[in-house]
């Protein structure tokens, strides 16, 4: 007897799924429980259609089968194969396309809504026929831009983003990636409310622009800083509309997509212009001024943390963004129960951003693939200004004298006989404190944690790490002691300030190993 199976998308939890008891073992329906919903609305709507592909280890079982949503389940006219030991891969996508191929294009005019441009998909391997629901993680594959008119002299009629690619490449798992050969075009945004516009574009690295049309017919344009728009992320652009000009300012709003950060106008995090004023005790870099000082080791050091956003990165405030590269600084929360990200401009100016090692060293996340790759980076300029570099192990030990796995240099200028001393450093103007970090122990982790809060010292961040450029310690691999299996973790030698003592005189600043996926502050040191 042939049965119809249904794809029951339980919108909040597996407990909400319907249970089906088959007449025979071969009549199991497939129940899919997604772990997210479509972000354009709170859930799927009646009439929505998805395409489902099921591939057994022996070959295709179902290809691009259309299932329609009736308000509670997606249903079709299929049956499972007999519940043998053979496993399958289940993949599904929205919106359904009878001619589904290896690409997906968003609508150039999204002013009526973004639903048909909101491409999402789910994918899971190792599935066997069962009466139990298959928990299928769905995620957004494209990027959403939120454009907010924060100030306007007059009313705004429409907003468009120019110079963006409208087509994405699709993988066998229905994931989306940048189509390097796609032509650039313009996308007209959907007006969500009086001052907020939404549009969806494929993932891409782009230097786009914004065009605002005012109610009296004027078109005002502004170019954006170069940015990498990552799959599943939301990026916010704030607009100040004048009578004859348009300005782009930063924001960090987030709704129900993963936050991708902000995109500023061209020049916000753009070319890194540099001017050095050592006699005056500062340099300017990418439009920001940093204090510097020649310490008793004879070297010039930054006495403030870097707050530069390298091209291709956007600043993250999400612990699940384990490859974001750059994160906002952390502070003790108002309840003094833990740490939180801060997007406050004054906090950023005082504490700088947090960088993963590859971002600090001038690379893209994932560029370090071997021990040899890491060892070549000793003394690299990274994202420091020209003539400066990310501190080496020799720089750090020469300054504070003590560190993990190295012989103590007892005559280092800021070694107090037991440890590197924050008090001694700060008496000479180093302005060191513990700034915390985002701890991501290796590249298998899907979420980070905050480092630096201790209940005994709840009024301050009590520990932290700083980026360095000298590879240190032993790397680990996806398979133990098998480099060919791929790098799992590697470390660089950096500062490890600790303020977990009763008085500043006891605060320490020694050297230590910092895993390359940990996000930490950066201070550059001048080349000899």
Least confident of 63-77, 168-182, 356-370, 514-528: 63-77
When the candidates are 3.40.630.30, 3.10.50.40, 2.60.40.2620, 3.90.380.10, the CATH number that belongs to 6-140 is 2.60.40.2620
- Picking from 346, 525, 318, 502, the residue whose alpha carbon sits closest to that of residue 430 is 525
Convert the pLDDT of each residue in 236-289 to its tens digit. 898 988 877 887 754 333 334 655 555 544 433 333 578 899 999 999 998 889
pLDDT tens digits along 104-138: 999 999 999 998 999 988 888 888 887 666 666 77
For residue 49, pLDDT over 80 is answered with yes
Backbone angles phi, psi at 457, to 5 degrees: -130, 55
Find the angle CA(244)-CA(249)-CA(250) to the nearest 5 degrees. 165
Bridge partners of 62, per DSSP, are: 54
Mean pLDDT for the chain overall: 85
Range 143-262 classified under CATH 2.60.40.2630: yes
Category of 429 on φ-ψ map: left (φ > 0), alpha (ψ -120 to 50) or beta: left
Residues 215-240 have a mean pLDDT of 86
Range scoring the smallest mean pLDDT among 3-17, 210-224, 274-288, 456-470: 3-17
| Beta bridge mates, 283 | 276, 290
How many C-beta neighbours within 10 Å does residue 283 have?
Answer: 22
Asked if pLDDT for residue 41 goes beyond 80, the answer is: no
- Indicate where the chain has its CATH 2.60.40.2630 domain(s): 143-262
Q: Which residues of 309-334 are buried (b: 16+ CB within 10 A; e: fewer)?
A: bbeebbbbbbbebbebbbbbbbbbee
Mean pLDDT of 10-38: 45
Cα separation of 173 and 122, whole Å? Answer: 8
Tokens representing residue 269 in the block: 């995090």
The β-bridge partners of 284 are 275, 289
Residue 186 near residue 209, CB atoms below 8 Å = no
**What per-residue confidence (pLDDT) applies to 299?**
96
- Report the pLDDT value the prediction gives residue 17, as an integer from 0 to 100: 36
The single residue listed with the structure tokens 């450029």 is 469
Between residues 189 and 128, the one the model is more confident about:
189
Q: What's the predicted TM-score (pTM) here?
A: 0.53
What pLDDT score does 272 carry?
Answer: 58
- The pLDDT tens digits of the residues spanning 281-320 come to 999 998 889 999 999 999 999 999 999 999 889 999 999 9
Find, among 67, 53, 87, 51, the residue nearest to 172 by Cα: 53
Q: What pLDDT does residue 257 have? A: 61
Confidence at residue 4, expressed as pLDDT on a 0 to 100 scale? 30
CATH 2.60.40.2620 positions along the chain are 6-140
Cβ proximity of 25 and 83 under 8 Å: yes
Q: Is 64 left (phi over 0), alpha (psi -120 to 50) or beta?
A: left
- For 395-438, the pLDDT digits (tens) are 999 999 999 999 999 999 999 999 999 999 999 999 999 999 99
């Amino acid at each position: 007897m042939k049965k119809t199976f249904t794809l029951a998308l339980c919108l909040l939890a597996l407990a909400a799924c319907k249970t089906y008891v088959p007449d025979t073992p071969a009549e199991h329906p497939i129940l899919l429980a997604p772990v997210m919903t479509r972000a354009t609305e709170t859930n799927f709507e009646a009439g929505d259609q998805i395409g489902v592909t099921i591939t057994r280890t022996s070959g295709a079982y179902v290809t691009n089968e259309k299932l329609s949503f009736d308000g509670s389940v997606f249903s079709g006219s299929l049956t499972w194969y007999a519940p043998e030991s053979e496993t399958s891969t289940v993949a599904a996508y929205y919106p359904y396309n009878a001619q589904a191929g290896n690409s997906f294009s968003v609508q150039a005019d999204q002013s009526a809504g973004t639903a048909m441009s909101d491409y999402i998909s789910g994918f899971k391997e190792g599935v066997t026929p069962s009466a139990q629901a298959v928990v299928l993680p769905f995620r957004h594959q494209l990027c959403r831009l939120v454009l907010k008119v924060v100030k306007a002299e007059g009313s705004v009629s429409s907003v468009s983003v120019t110079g963006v690619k409208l087509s994405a490449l699709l993988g066998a798992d229905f994931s989306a990636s940048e189509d390097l050969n796609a032509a650039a075009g313009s996308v007209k945004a959907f007006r969500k409310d009086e001052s907020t516009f939404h549009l969806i574009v494929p993932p891409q690295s782009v230097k786009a622009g914004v065009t605002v049309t005012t109610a009296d017919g004027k078109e005002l344009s502004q170019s954006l800083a170069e940015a990498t728009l990552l799959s599943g992320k939301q990026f916010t652009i704030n607009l100040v509309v004048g009578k004859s000009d348009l300005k782009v300012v930063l924001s960090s709003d987030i709704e129900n997509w993963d936050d991708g950060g902000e995109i500023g106008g061209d020049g916000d995090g753009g070319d890194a212009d540099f001017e050095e004023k050592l006699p005056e005790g500062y340099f300017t870099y990418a439009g920001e001024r940093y204090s510097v000082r020649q310490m008793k080791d004879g070297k010039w050091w930054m006495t403030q943390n870097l707050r530069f956003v390298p091209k291709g990165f956007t600043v993250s405030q999400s612990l699940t963004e384990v490859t974001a590269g750059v994160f906002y600084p952390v502070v003790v929360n108002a309840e003094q129960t833990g740490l939180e990200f801060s997007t406050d401009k004054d906090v950023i100016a005082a504490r700088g951003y947090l960088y993963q090692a590859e971002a600090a060293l001038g690379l893209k996340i994932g560029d370090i693939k071997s021990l040899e790759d890491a060892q070549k980076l000793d003394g690299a300029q990274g994202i420091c200004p020209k003539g400066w570099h990310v501190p080496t192990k020799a720089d750090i030990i020469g300054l504070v004298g003590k560190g993990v796995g190295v012989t103590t240099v007892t005559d280092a200028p800021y070694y107090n006989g037991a440890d590197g001393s924050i008090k001694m450093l700060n008496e000479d103007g180093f302005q060191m404190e513990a700034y915390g970090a985002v701890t991501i122990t290796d590249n298998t982790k899907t979420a980070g944690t905050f480092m630096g809060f201790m209940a005994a010292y709840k009024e301050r961040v009590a520990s932290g790490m700083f980026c360095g450029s000298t590879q240190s310690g032993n790397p680990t691999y996806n398979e133990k002691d098998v480099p060919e299996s791929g790098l799992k973790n590697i470390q660089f030698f950096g500062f490890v300030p600790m303020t977990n003592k009763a008085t500043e005189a006891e605060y320490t600043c020694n050297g230590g190993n910092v895993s390359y996926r940990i996000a930490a502050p950066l201070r550059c040191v001048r080349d000899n």
